[in-house]
């Protein structure tokens, strides 16, 4: 008890100090709600988002071989392999990507092969488009179970990020630099952003250009 007393006193002191600081704070110092966006600001944001989506999304279009690792930071990472097919929707910047990527471990015993681990990208579809009303990029995921989720999406330079969960529990980041033959896709999980999945989407032949953007078919 005697040992705990100084700690308790210190804690009370800090609490008191914090309370006094809060009480003395000028209410004008507390940030109020953000200023409402003016029509000019909204229009500028709309144009920027439209330009970003028109620049980045077409880089995703094409057929890819996919290789990577599930659980790269785990003690037993698993190899992931598969394919991805991203199609343009008409002449616009909208894109849909279908992944069919599996991972797991082949365990052999008594003549029977058992695959451990299950993929949530076998298949999974992602539809990307631009919401002009809210001036944001939108992504809808259809996962392996056929369950649909809306995923808030942002574009930052050459990186497209789309997240599942209000707190960004699952966040995909696709790094697609211009004229690159491959796209790096990483799935981060949780607040600490642990890498769950690291994929490299590679165009099958280096010289193959992206298909013409004329039709979704």
Partner 1 sequence: MIRRIGINAIGSGLIMLALLPAPALPASPSTQQLDEVLVNGRRVKPNRDPQQIVNWLKLLVGQFRYTGFVEVKAEGVPSAPRQVRGKADCIAFGLAPGVICRIDVNWPEVHGPNGEEVPGGISSLTPAMVQYGLDADRLAIRYMQVDNKGMADRGHAYLVSDSLVTTAPCMGIEGNCQRISRITPQVDGRIVEMQVDFVRDSEPIASYRFVLRRVGAVAEGAISGGEP
Binding mask 57-96 for partner 1 (x = CB under 8 A): x-----x------------------xxxx---xxxxxx-x
Q: Which two tokens stand for residue 87?
A: 């199609």
Q: Which of 65, 67, 77, 140 binds partner 1 (CB under 8 A)?
A: 140
C-beta closer to partner 1: residue 68 or 123: 123
Round to whole Å and give the CA distance between 76 and 69: 10
Confirm if 95 and 87 have CB atoms less than 8 A apart: yes
Q: How far is the CB of 137 from partner 1 (least distance, A)?
A: 8
Q: Does 208 bind partner 1 (CB under 8 A)?
A: no
Q: How many other C-beta atoms are found inside a 10 Å radius of the C-beta of residue 51? A: 12
Residue 172, judged by CB atoms within 10 A of its CB (0-12, 13-18, 19+), counts as buried
Site mask, partner 1, residues 17-56, x = CB under 8 A? ------------------------------------xx--
Burial class (CB in 10 A: 0-12, 13-18, 19+), 154: middle
Identify the H or E element spanning 12.
helix 4-24
Q: Cβ closer to partner 1: 108 or 133?
A: 133
Nearest partner of 161 among 139, 191, 143, judged by Cα? 139
The Cα 167–Cα 189 span in angstroms is 10
Residue closer to partner 1 (CB basis): 100 or 173: 100
Piece of 19-27, 109-117, 128-136, 169-177 that binds partner 1 (CB under 8 A): 128-136
Report the residue number, 55 or 195, with the smaller CB distance to partner 1: 55
Cβ(76)–Cβ(105) below 8 Å: yes
- Residue 3: count other Cβ atoms within 10 Å of its Cβ: 6
Q: Which of residues 142-201 bind partner 1 (CB under 8 A)?
A: 142-150
Total interface residues for partner 1 by CB under 8 A: 42
User: Contact positions toward partner 1, by CB under 8 A?
Assistant: 53-54, 57, 63, 82-85, 89-94, 96, 98-100, 123-125, 127-133, 138, 140, 142-150, 215-217
């Amino acid at each position: 008890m005697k040992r705990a007393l100084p700690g308790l006193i210190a804690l009370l002191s800090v609490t008191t100090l914090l309370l006094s600081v809060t009480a003395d704070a000028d209410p004008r110092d507390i940030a109020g709600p953000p200023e409402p966006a003016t029509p000019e600001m909204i229009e500028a944001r709309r144009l920027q988002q439209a330009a970003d989506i028109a620049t980045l999304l077409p880089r995703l279009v094409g057929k890819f071989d996919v290789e990577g690792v599930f659980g790269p930071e785990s003690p037993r990472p698993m190899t992931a392999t598969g394919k991805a097919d991203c199609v343009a929707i008409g002449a616009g910047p909208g894109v849909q990507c279908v992944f069919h990527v599996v991972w797991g471990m082949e365990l052999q015993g008594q003549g029977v092969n058992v695959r451990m681990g299950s993929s949530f990208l076998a298949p999974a579809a992602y539809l990307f488009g631009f919401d002009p009303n809210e001036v944001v990029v939108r992504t809808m995921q259809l996962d392996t179970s056929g369950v649909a989720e809306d995923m808030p999406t942002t574009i930052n330079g050459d990186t497209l990020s789309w997240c599942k969960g209000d707190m960004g529990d699952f966040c995909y980041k696709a790094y697609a630099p211009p004229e690159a033959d491959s796209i790096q896709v990483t799935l981060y999980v949780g607040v600490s952003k642990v890498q769950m999945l690291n994929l490299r989407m590679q165009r099958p032949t280096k010289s193959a250009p992206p298909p013409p953007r004329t039709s979704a078919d």
